[in-house]
Amino acid sequence: MQRWVLDLGNTRLKVAPLDVHGQVGDCVALEHRGADMATLAAQLPSQMDVAYLASVVDEGLRVALLDVLAQRCQRISVARTQRRWGDLRIAYADPARLGVDRFLAMLAANAHARRAEQVPPVLVCGVGTALTLDLIDAAGLHLGGRIAPSPTTMRHVLNQQVAQLPARGGSYVEFADDTPDALASGCVGAALGLIQRSLTEAESRVGTTVTLYLHGGGGDELRTLIPQARWAPGLVLEGLAQWAAIDDPS
C-alpha cells in the first residue's frame, strides 16, 4: 500500500512516503506560491493509496489540492488539531484555533522527548512564514505559545513598505556596516531574541531545563546561531505519521 503524508504550508507543499513501519521517507518540498495547481499536481506521485494531509492555507488552495488528490487516491485523511492525543493535552480552550502544523509538531517533539530516559519539558519552535513557539511540560501539558513573523516575512514586509530595503541578501553579524547585512542581522536577531526569551521564561515557569526543538524551512538559517537547539526539520510530517498510525483502519 502506498501511503503518503503531505504538509501544505503557506509557501511550500512538503510530500513524503510512509514506509511499511509508518516512518517518514525522503521529503520533497514544492514551492506553491505563485504556481498554478496543474504545475504542482504534475510533481506529485501519480498513484497514492492513502494521502494524509495537514493544511494551514486558505480554503481555496486546500480544496484545489484535495481535488487533485481525489483523482489519484483511494482515501484522503485530513488531520485536525485534537484537544488530547496520548500524553499531549492542548492549552487552547478551542483546539480548532490552534494550527494543525503546530499540533503535529508538538506531537512529534513530545514523542521524541518521551524516548529519553528522563522526559524533559520541550519548547517547539517552527520557522516558516510565521515563527511559532509552543511549550510542553514533562507531563505532556501544552502551556501555550507565541506567534510572530519569521525573519523572511519581516524582510518581505519591510521591502513592501520601503522598496529600497532589499527583501533578501546579507549575512548575520552583530553590528553590520551595510544595509543588506543590517537587515539580515536585525530580522534574524529579532527571531533569536524572541526564541531566547521564550526559552528563559519557559525554564523559569517549569523550574528545570527545557529542550528546544527547531523545525521548518526557515529554521536552517537560525540553527547555527542556537547551538543548544535540536534540529528536527521533519517534525510536522512525523506528527502526521502518528496521525496516520491511528487513522489507518487496517
Q: Which residues are catalytic?
A: 101
Q: 116-122: long-range contacts at Cβ-Cβ below 8 A with a sequence spacing of 24 or more?
A: 120/208, 120/209, 120/210, 120/211, 121/202, 121/206, 121/208, 121/210, 121/211, 122/210, 122/211, 122/212, 122/213
The three-state secondary structure class of 52 is strand
Which DSSP letter does residue 24 get? B
| Distance (Å, whole) CA 235 – CA 148 | 19
Report which of 111, 60, 56 is spatially closest to residue 243, judged by C-alpha positions.
111
- Cα 188 to Cα 172: distance, rounded to the nearest angstrom: 7
Contact 22, 244 (CB under 8 A): yes
- φ, ψ of residue 159 in degrees (nearest 5): -65, -35
Short-list 43, 58, 40, 45, CA closest to 18: 45
- Distance CA(166)–CA(183), nearest Å, equals 8
Instruction: Return d(Cα 23, Cα 19) in angstroms, integer.
Output: 5
Q: Where are the beta strands (DSSP E) in the chain?
A: 3-8, 12-18, 28-31, 48-55, 73-78, 84-85, 88-89, 122-127, 130-136, 142-149, 211-215, 230-231
